[in-house]
Amino acid sequence: MKIIWQVEPQDIEKVRNFLSLHENDPFVQQRIKRNLSNVKPEITKEDFWFVMVSCMLTTQQRSGPDSAVARFTNTRPFPLNYQSCVSSDNPRAFTQEIISNFGGLRFSNRLSSQIETNLHLLKQGFWSETFAMLNELRSTQTLQSERKVANFINHHFTGFGPKQSRNLLQSLGLTKYEIPIDSRITKWLNRFGFPVKLSASALSDANYYKFVSEGFQYLCAQSGVYPCVLDAAIFTSFDGSLGFRRVSPISGAWYNQQKFSEVMPC
């Protein structure tokens, strides 16, 4: 059996009209500037680690502008920065203490275990493979290459699934096509008139996630819009104009006043 996507002229008009309402929002403009740029800045270990830990923190807890996650990731210096974690004699105990003592953060046991596992993997030499994948996207952004690297993140790093692997890459400014699909996207698509009633709870199934993602990407392609840009507009529409607020609950992307102007939550 096959699914044949069909986009009508009125669908394209709806997408373009929707985007026109939000295209001047600072968050949308920042997404355009970072993710559509042909020149990608080099990713450092600190960069990747900060975004990776931020993604993990947002997986199962609220991450809006006024949330504990937002306060934590906007703390400078970042409490779980790479140098602090890698130099700790007991990374699991160190991260659990930091998360537990901050206040308002959940799942400290699970998160500390996952962070320790990922840290051990990288310290054992996996940085080279990881940077090879990231550099592939710095030089070539295609739907196929983005999906390949997202699957790489999903497969190798603990605490990541289809959504957060794309969340990580999008927040690093490395993806145009593969976006993190979550409840905001499914709600927007249902309101838009997606041919199938969507459920966010079913996104944990890889095939279902792929189905929704491909439908979204096809709609964008027919409308002449990059998925990462429509994604930013949708999050802005749900959470209001971000203006110059430092944090944005964009399936993982956050404003701050340091090197990154976009980095992530869920």
Average pLDDT over residues 89-111: 93
Calculate the average pLDDT of the chain.
88
Q: Over the Cα atoms of the chain, what is R_g? A: 18
Which residues, listed in sequence order, are joined to residue 263 by a DSSP beta bridge? 254
pLDDT of 241 > 60? The answer is: no
Please name which of 149, 185, 195, 184 lies closest in space to residue 169, comparing C-alpha atoms. Answer: 149
pLDDT of 247 > 50? The answer is: no
pLDDT of 159 > 90? The answer is: yes
- DSSP E strands, the chain: none
Return the SS3 of 263: strand
Average pLDDT over residues 56-61: 80
Instruction: Report the percentage of the chain scoring pLDDT > 90.
Output: 75
At 256 the pLDDT is 37
Average pLDDT over residues 168-183: 95
State how far Cα 76 lies from the chain centre. Answer: 21
At 4 the pLDDT is 84
pTM of the model as a whole = 0.88
State how far Cα 70 lies from the chain centre. Answer: 14
At 198 the pLDDT is 96
Average pLDDT over residues 150-159: 96
Over residues 6-48, the pLDDT tens digits come to: 999 999 999 999 999 999 999 999 999 999 999 998 999 999 9
Average pLDDT over residues 122-143: 95
pLDDT of 106 > 60? The answer is: yes
**Residue 55: both structure tokens together:** 């993604």
pLDDT of 244 > 70? The answer is: no
The Cα–Cα gap between 262 and 50 comes to: 12
At 127 the pLDDT is 98
Question: How many helices and strands in the chain, by DSSP H and E?
Answer: 13, 0
The Cα–Cα gap between 113 and 131 comes to: 23
**Residue 127: both structure tokens together:** 């940085």
At 240 the pLDDT is 63
